[in-house]
Structure 1
Amino acid sequence: MNLTHWPPGIPRHLELPDTSLCYNLEVSARRYPERAATLYYGGVLDYAELKRQVDALAGYLQQVCDVRRGDRVALFMQNSPQFIIALHAILRADAMVVPINTMNRQQEVAHIVRDSGSRVAIFGQELAEHIAPLLGTDLAHGIVATYSDYIDAQTDLPLPDIVCAAAIAVDGAVAWGAALEHNCEPAPPLAGPDDLAVMPYTSGTTGAPKGCMHTHRSVMHTTIGGPEWCYVPKDCRVLAALPMFHVTGLQNGVMSPIYGGVSIAIMTRWDKRCAAMLIERFGVTTWTAIPTMLFDFLNQPDLDQRDLSSLYCLTGGGAAMPKAVAERIHALWGIHYIEGYGLSETMAPTHLNPTHRPKAQCLGLPIFDVHALVVDIETLKPLEVGEVGEILVDGPQVFRGYFGDAERTAAAFVEIDGRRYFRTGDLGYVDDEGYFFMVDRLKRMINASGYKVWPAEVESYLYAHPAVLEACVIACRDAHRGESVKALVVRRPGQAVDAEALIAWAREQMAAYKVPHAVEFVDSLPKNAAGKMQWRMLQEREMAKGTTC
């Protein structure tokens, strides 16, 4: 491993505390009880009150919902103080958090609830239609949150509709405030660093979303490692704009800030004007943003009139940052956009660019205690500098495996020279200075503005439409999102449907980022001798066009 450009003054080994994640909040609440923990559209929650509410909700989960050590609890909620409270309450109850993508629809939510075995769910009221049907059947208990409970109604910050909405009763669920009013005292914590803590769901090439089992220790590694790598002090202020259900938003917008006892300015919905106001008003110092978010942010006519000089740490990933945009960021703020690389299976980063010497459109260096290789995709033989192969990683943040799926877990790992590596499915290379670059994906995945879309999953939904005989989903070029979803469809004989109608139908079936952006009707789809769809041929043909969809 080439360590020539390792960040100056940063240790190469990260010694992790032998404690659970919920202990991080206890420490911060003791150190900084009156410091603002959350800044939410004018509403402020200090660390002492945050911990009090976490304990009350944890006690409710244990005493009323019968949550026990190791149980799974679904968390289906937008960015909000309630998300942070619920997350830590589940951990304080010695249970495992199952964060659910808020773009998911009922069928997708039902799969995750059933697959994880969650019997309790905490959710935002605007998402009730997608989870309430499970109450009384799959779910024994539900707690519903109203975001407006935590805002200042007189704020001048632009309020999303779902944030200023009044409380809505949901049959079969108890209101958030009512749950807290029980003032239940949680039992002494039992979970340790090797207990399961968080299980984000990711989709595989077969299309079925699967749970990535993370322990308190694996989550702790990137919780501490990210700020350490980027020299982030404990008196910083964080802008949490990325979705907290996603590992990048979770670690950078919740876990790391709580560990450091810093203030978190929370955005429930992305709004470039609101983001600029928050940075200026609260002196935000640290922000993790994907490139498409920054494209939009920089496209503000009055941006140069705002004082954004407090911002000194800007990180992100999900897609390569165009050189011209990175140069504009540096010209505006005098800082570099620090790109990184990670997956749900690694609880965010395994690689980060060093802040003193980043490279553009680069994954970065393997961070603390991470071993990374590039290997031949057939022989798994380690490759030389500059040779393209599959990226393998091993480190403390790598997950335990896929929940309830020993076969997929076994297939996801390989042992090389006595070390067990996770197969990322990403193709890349390492240069002569030890920096990793990604060039393609071995797995069949579409990257739409940083969201991973698995074609087989989208195809499975399309096949439910009565007019669809066959479907093959591929990526198409998109000037804004990088890639978008395109469906090649063979109509069922005697059935009529046009592209607009099929796309409208798809919006009702799946998360918005999975919905085909374009539909092309064809007479047939190519298959090999074994009858398997030759999607790669179709993908290459689409990309060879050089046009956007």
Structure 2
Amino acid sequence: MPNTPNHMLHMKYWPPGLPTDLHLPTHSVAQNLIDSATRVPDQIAIRFHGVTLTYAEMLSQVERLAGWLQARGVVRGDRVLLYMQNAPQCMIAYYAILRADAAVIPVNPMNRHAELEHLARDTGARIVMCGTELVEHLTPLVTEGLLDHIVAAAYADMTDPAYDIPLFEALQGQSDVLCDGPGVTPFRAALAEGHTPGPITAGAEDLAVIPYSSGTTGNPKGCVHTHASVQATIHGGAAWNPSGEPNAVHLVSLPLFHVTGMQSSMSIPILLGQEMVILTRWNRETACQLIERHRVTRWRNIATMAIDLLNTPGIEGYDLSSLRGIGGGGAAMPEAVADRLHTLTGLDYIEGYGLSETMGGSHINPVHRPKRQCLGIPVINVDSRILDLQTGAELGPNQPGEVIIHAPQVFRGYWQRPEETAEAFVQIDGKAFFRTGDIAQYDEDGYFFMVDRVKRMINASGFKVWPAEVEALMHRHPELTEVCIIGTSDPRRGESVKAIAVRRAGSQVTEAEVIEWCKSEMAAYKCPKEVEFTDSLPKSGAGKVMWRALAENEAKRTRAETV
């Protein structure tokens, strides 16, 4: 293909029969559920610890909850926080918010006070849908006047207590009727009010989902997605990796607050009218049981989940033969693990790449010709290129540079941050490309391979931790004057978070006390596992903390310890 532009090399191995351009719908994402419930009303939509919901039943609850939201004054374009673990109520709440013409603000259930306060202030959301186990973290925001309403759902309410695969122990025995407090309405009470929502008025460019992406500038930033950009990865993903087998069943183990989970494990199956078996928290034995019992055919995950599943004691004793597709991302799948997975299931692990800013996968391996430890190729309607870090020139094969993306699923910008939005895009050939900040290169076949992440990002068990965000939170500690966050080698997690901190004069605060404080203010995966105290942080002539020197010293120390 001598006349093929460098950024089109991947067309050599384009999936047979797949269009290169996809006509995308202009209607609300909520309409996808309505269409499936109309087409296959009696098909099981959700299976959860001995209880099932059909598509008709799921839609009925979505409609009533959407009506409740509108009765509380929610109108098109309003934002609603969704703060739950994986459960039927999480899916119902997600689609109810969209059905009410509002935008979903997905919140990591590990987030705590400081993070929740930022999200409430930044989005202006006045209502939150949450699990009952999380209400205590929200009530201060109601008393402070940041929130008006909390809809609290107990996941156990949608389980069969006698079912032999029980809900995670800490969540058993809860009921939303036992939950009260300022502004709290039990989930089932909201449904029981029986409200009917008005007609859908949200269109293609109305707000749909605003996932928050941490970054190098401190507080997380909202990635503005419209119904059009969300539909792009729903319809594109369904076409790229078709679950053509009859009665496809999806194992939902990825967190639904994350774009990959909400798109690949929820919204694509809902578009197709297929069954979803929900796992609230990752447990490898439970995953094996569910795959075997419910003949799961599709499992989207992160590499660390697949690795953990393969290490399940007695894995050979489970019948996993129903599986027809396994894939994910988050980190490269090690060659040896991919071999073991193939031996066990006969399947290739299909790796992909995406970001909150692209609402899921922008690069995925072709199912018919995947490469290992590879991000894949740009999917339908995606123009992705590599730019030189110094000159900004477009690069060719085997030349590492920054990944840039132009596609219909690219976000519309950072919520209320016009300057950062402008900095995130570059104009090439009359098109706006999103600058991912990730360093990669592609080979002669157009397959992309990760080279490096943004220099400061810490990858702790697949979770992205941005030091600037953790530093911003830790600077609120009354006993600390300065903090620098670095990564430290961890044999189990890959990397862990370490804080280098300066105490206030006269303070005797301990490492354990600082770590405990952090646990109350931020998600556990962001919390430092170590706190090293120092009299001062090294600074450049311009007064900037020399984090790189601290990181290099830490790397030398850990290397010396392993020798």
TM-score category of the 2 structures, normalised to the smaller one: over 0.9
Instruction: Give the aligned residue type for 1:459.
Output: E
> Is structure 2 residue 15 aligned with structure 1 residue 24?
no
Q: Which residue in the other structure is 1:89 paired with?
A: 96
SS of corresponding position for 2:223: strand
Structure 1 contact 362–436 (Cα < 8 Å) conserved: yes
User: Residues 301-345 of structure 1: CA distance to partner in whole angstroms, max 9, x if unpaired?
Assistant: 221111001112111111111111111101100101111111101
Q: Provide the C-alpha distance between the structure 2 equivalents of 1:268 and 1:249, rounded to a whole number of angstroms.
A: 12
SS of corresponding position for 2:538: coil
SS of corresponding position for 1:508: helix
User: Residues 412-467 of structure 1: CA distance to partner in whole angstroms, max 9, x if unpaired?
Assistant: 11101211100101111111110111111235311212211110111122223343
> Is structure 2 residue 242 aligned with structure 1 residue 235?
no
User: Residues 359-405 of structure 1: CA distance to partner in whole angstroms, max 9, x if unpaired?
Assistant: 12111100001011111123211112111111111101000001111
Deviation (angstroms), 1:210: 1.3
Which of the residues 168, 175, 180 maps onto 1:170? 180
Q: TM-score, normalised by structure 2?
A: 0.94
User: Residues 187-232 of structure 1: CA distance to partner in whole angstroms, max 9, x if unpaired?
Assistant: 0111112211001111221111111110111111111222321222
Instruction: Give the aligned residue type for 1:61.
Output: L
> Is structure 2 residue 52 aligned with structure 1 residue 44?
yes
Deviation (angstroms), 1:291: 1.6
SS of corresponding position for 2:218: coil
Structure 1 contact 79–268 (Cα < 8 Å) conserved: yes
Structure 2 contact 486–550 (Cα < 8 Å) conserved: yes
Q: Which residue in the other structure is 1:148 paired with?
A: 156
Instruction: Give the aligned residue type for 1:150.
Output: M
Q: 1:217 to 1:69 in 2, by over 3 A?
A: same
Q: Which residue in the other structure is 2:306 paired with?
A: 294
SS of corresponding position for 1:424: strand
Deviation (angstroms), 1:504: 2.4
Structure 2 contact 386–394 (Cα < 8 Å) conserved: yes
Q: Which residue in the other structure is 1:360 paired with?
A: 372
> Is structure 2 residue 222 aligned with structure 1 residue 211?
yes
Instruction: Give the aligned residue type for 1:423.
Output: R
Structure 1 contact 56–185 (Cα < 8 Å) conserved: yes
Structure 1 contact 163–268 (Cα < 8 Å) conserved: no
User: What is the root-mean-square deviation of aligned Cα atoms in Å?
Assistant: 1.6
Q: Which residue in the other structure is 1:70 paired with?
A: 77
Q: Provide the C-alpha distance between the structure 1 equivalents of 2:496 and 2:180, rounded to a whole number of angstroms.
A: 35
Q: Which residue in the other structure is 2:523 paired with?
A: 511
Deviation (angstroms), 1:170: 2.3
Q: Provide the C-alpha distance between the structure 2 equivalents of 1:395 and 1:292, rounded to a whole number of angstroms.
A: 28
Q: Provide the C-alpha distance between the structure 2 equivalents of 1:512 and 1:135, rounded to a whole number of angstroms.
A: 23
SS of corresponding position for 1:209: strand
Instruction: Give the aligned residue type for 2:348.
Output: H
SS of corresponding position for 1:423: strand
Q: Provide the C-alpha distance between the structure 2 equivalents of 1:540 and 1:388, rounded to a whole number of angstroms.
A: 23
SS of corresponding position for 1:153: coil
Q: 1:546 to 1:393 in 2, by over 3 A?
A: farther
SS of corresponding position for 1:135: helix
Q: Which residue in the other structure is 1:440 paired with?
A: 452
1:14-413 paired onto structure 2 within 5 Å: 14-63=22-71, 65-135=72-142, 137-167=145-175, 168-171=178-181, 172-233=183-244, 235-413=247-425
Q: Provide the C-alpha distance between the structure 1 equivalents of 2:174 and 2:558, rounded to a whole number of angstroms.
A: 48
Q: Provide the C-alpha distance between the structure 1 equivalents of 2:445 and 2:114, rounded to a whole number of angstroms.
A: 47
Instruction: Give the aligned residue type for 1:481.
Output: R
Structure 1 contact 316–339 (Cα < 8 Å) conserved: yes
Structure 2 contact 28–200 (Cα < 8 Å) conserved: no
Structure 2 contact 215–466 (Cα < 8 Å) conserved: yes
User: Residues 490-528 of structure 1: CA distance to partner in whole angstroms, max 9, x if unpaired?
Assistant: 333322234333222221221000011222333432211
Q: Provide the C-alpha distance between the structure 2 equivalents of 1:500 and 1:183, rounded to a whole number of angstroms.
A: 49
Report the count of equivalent residues. Answer: 548
Q: Provide the C-alpha distance between the structure 1 equivalents of 2:169 and 2:225, rounded to a whole number of angstroms.
A: 34
Q: Provide the C-alpha distance between the structure 1 equivalents of 2:107 and 2:523, rounded to a whole number of angstroms.
A: 11
Q: 1:229 to 1:484 in 2, by over 3 A?
A: same
Q: Provide the C-alpha distance between the structure 2 equivalents of 1:125 and 1:363, rounded to a whole number of angstroms.
A: 38
Q: TM-score, normalised by structure 1?
A: 0.97
Q: Provide the C-alpha distance between the structure 1 equivalents of 2:396 and 2:383, rounded to a whole number of angstroms.
A: 15
Moved more, 33-42 or 479-488: 479-488
Structure 1 contact 82–145 (Cα < 8 Å) conserved: yes
SS of corresponding position for 1:149: helix
Structure 1 contact 147–162 (Cα < 8 Å) conserved: no
Identical counterparts, % of pairs: 51
User: Residues 219-266 of structure 1: CA distance to partner in whole angstroms, max 9, x if unpaired?
Assistant: 111112223212222631100111100111111121111101100000
Q: Provide the C-alpha distance between the structure 1 equivalents of 2:142 and 2:536, rounded to a whole number of angstroms.
A: 43
Instruction: Give the aligned residue type for 1:197.
Output: A
Structure 1 residues not aligned, in runs of 5+: none
Structure 2 contact 470–526 (Cα < 8 Å) conserved: yes
Which of the residues 543, 551, 559 maps onto 1:539? 551
Structure 1 contact 390–427 (Cα < 8 Å) conserved: yes
Instruction: Give the aligned residue type for 2:519.
Output: R
Structure 2 contact 156–167 (Cα < 8 Å) conserved: no
SS of corresponding position for 1:155: coil
Structure 1 contact 425–443 (Cα < 8 Å) conserved: no
Q: Which residue in the other structure is 2:503 paired with?
A: 491
Instruction: Give the aligned residue type for 1:34.
Output: D
Structure 2 contact 219–472 (Cα < 8 Å) conserved: no
Q: Provide the C-alpha distance between the structure 1 equivalents of 2:451 and 2:529, rounded to a whole number of angstroms.
A: 24
